A and B are shown apart, each in its own frame.
Chain A
């Protein structure tokens, strides 16, 4: 895989506060990378250093092999970004704002500007002054700005802020398409874990200025998942059925919820055959089974909370 962003031994202090401690991170072309961390963990600082807004105290950042400090212009040709809030010139229209950027980036044609406007769904309002835009519309304009010059690396800081559900869906589709079909590396930071779970291929978690984990979503969830499977049963006679089930195997635990519902758990290393036979037993014992629902595994949010709360809930 082609390396997109490479961060090595990154350190940053603001006065006496050591904000980033030896951060290492590599992202690749064709992936959506989620950058997670509680407030004040160093997400924005890292992003600002990637795009050259903050100076680097120690370490190196390169974009597709171009050092951000030594080769700023070449590195930035490959980067599109929204840093913090998507701010634009309020006295200009959306289109005029985009034209400003089009003028100072190479190879952005008027057709490309229209294409991007179309893509982010701003066509109807693009000739209005940005002062009249809602946060969601500014976010879309920011995205359009970031996409103008076909960047190889797209960095979005809290891109779902202010977007409506349809907007979030559009954003997700755009980002996935860019990454998976056009081979762009997308780096997204967000606090909306459910969104990140749907959007990202890999995530990196930063806490107190240090990277604590970089994994795929599946790996991360799996690593933190419990080692039991849980099922929710809806039957005609819950109490008796539960008794039958618990007598079937000693590893099965659970409880009756009401007259028609109960839940059971058993170790996740049991085979599917075990489950099949368990259910046949219930069926043959004459119970009417209306539905069996697996109680889902933990979500990214739970994992995130679990990981970050280990360090306490205070902002670092």
Chain B
């Protein structure tokens, strides 16, 4: 049997196309790393420069003056004076100066700063003092008052966690710059801290969203205290990612592993190439006429059949491992940091650390299930037909039409679509609740796939063993 499998590998690797596949994996792995970088380097976020801000100011001055306008005009004028141009640049990489100024105005302005204000003298004076203090701090580069203002800014939500995070930054003299991961981590988690306190202060019923926010905050604090710059957060429950498109269970705050995980899509390309190999592995012998010489050996047809199937599956697994390693190497070459990041989870009130490698391998392994089903279908078709072209053609057709048809079934709410193998092979998706049909379970999917695989292989084996050559 081993010799039969070895023979199949000799035959596969005698073909130039197999080397094309290996090179393709490498090229794609590196392209996925470097192409986005090239594109990014050419694209500069346009600065909200002085001119933009001045023209904004002019626009506000021209339009009919009301109280709100006074506020904006005053804000822009102060910003111009302090040379802060990213005032209205809210994409998360705003400078602390701009954030500080915005926060201060929002907290204290109350129209009181304006001379037309009807506020009482004390409130007005308070506003004048606060904004004075803000401009002074910005001018002298003192960021501590910014943190204090932040605390006041979020004081409404009465969040203990939020204060804890900001206090940590003050205590550790963290300069609030984009390039300080601790500052960025806290900024990204303030929202979660507030969510947690909303639940707790209002005695709302705790649900998945609370668990996730709580875990994120605890892991944030753990990372601060243990100086863990890069890490992967394991959520208690899956949630929609930032794009609100797919459910995720892990948050990759590490360029290295996020890149490796994201590149698992490369397997899809490999899968197409594997379909071509699987589709040709039996039909190709007929095409070349070598089948006669293969079958007259003292080896039963069933053995030859299983050896060929095993070869395809082993090759698929090797390809996945190769793709995985290529992605790791390409990612390392691209200079992504965080290879040693831990996996952090918050379970029963304490933080656990684990290996990210396991999680990423898991992603690849679950992807592999789908590909193995696809390859098995291609292999089955290869055993049924004598022409490689027909066999590959039908396999690809079944692949695309099968998957699309299942989605149409799902869209039309034709429930029996759930019994199609195409609806079941995305086990990871089903595990995270992304199944095409409602109430799909991992166990159900595994049973479904197993039945289909046995059926496919039985049909293929039967056809191959009985075939008149």
Binding site for B on A (CB under 8 A): 48, 51-55, 72-77, 79, 81, 83-85, 87-92, 96, 99-101, 103-106, 142, 145
Contacts and interface: CB of A to CB of B under 8 A. Distances in A.
A90 to B, nearest CB: 7
B290 A51 contact: no
Contacts of A85: 289
A84 B289 contact: yes
B293 A55 contact: no
A83 B290 CA distance: 10
A103 B297 CA distance: 10
A73 B289 contact: no
Nearest to B465: A55
Interface string B273-302: 000000000000000111011011111100
A251 to B, nearest CB: 57
Contact of B299 (A55, A73, A145): A73
Interface of B: 3-4, 6-7, 10-11, 14-16, 288-290, 292-293, 295-300, 466, 468-469
A52 B288 CA distance: 19
B465 to A, nearest CB: 10
Contact of A87 (B4, B11, B288): B288
A79 B6 CA distance: 23
A79 B288 CA distance: 22
B419 to A, nearest CB: 35
A269 B113 CA distance: 146
B296 A73 contact: no
Contacts of A48: 292, 469
Q: Which of B4, B10, B16 has the most CB of A within 10 A?
A: B10
* Most B CB within 10 A of own CB, among A73, A85, A87: A87
A48 B298 CA distance: 15
A105 B297 contact: yes
A87 B16 CA distance: 20
Contacts of A105: 297-298
A83 B288 contact: no
A83 B10 contact: no
B298 A73 contact: yes
Contacts of A103: 3-4, 6-7
A89 B11 contact: yes
B297 A76 contact: yes
B14 A96 contact: yes
Given A54-B468, A55-B466, A104 B296 contact: no
B469 A54 contact: yes
Given A53-B292, A92-B10, 10 more contacts: A53-B469, A72-B300, A74-B298, A76-B297, A81-B296, A83-B293, A84-B292, A101-B293, A104-B4, A104-B7
Contacts of A74: 298
A290 to B, nearest CB: 56
A96 B468 contact: no
Nearest to B307: A104
A222 to B, nearest CB: 36
A88 B7 CA distance: 13
Contacts of A81: 296
B466 A90 contact: no
18 contacts: A48-B469, A51-B295, A51-B296, A53-B468, A54-B468, A72-B300, A74-B298, A83-B293, A87-B290, A88-B290, A90-B288, A91-B15, A91-B16, A96-B14, A100-B7, A103-B4, A105-B297, A145-B293
B10 A53 contact: no
A90 B287 CA distance: 12
A96 B10 contact: yes
For the complex of A and B, list the 4 residue pairs with the smallest distance between their C-beta atoms, beginning with the closest. Answer: A87-B289, A91-B14, A76-B298, A53-B469
A87 B295 contact: no
A84 to B, nearest CB: 7
Given A91-B15, A92-B10, A96-B14, A101 B292 contact: no
A83 B6 CA distance: 24
Contacts of A100: 7, 10-11
Contact of A55 (B3, B7, B295, B468): B468
Contacts of A91: 11, 14-16
Contacts of A75: 298
A73 B288 CA distance: 24
Nearest to B17: A91
Of A52, A74, A89, A90, chain B has the most CB atoms within 10 Å of the CB of A89
Given A54-B469, A55-B466, A89 B290 contact: yes
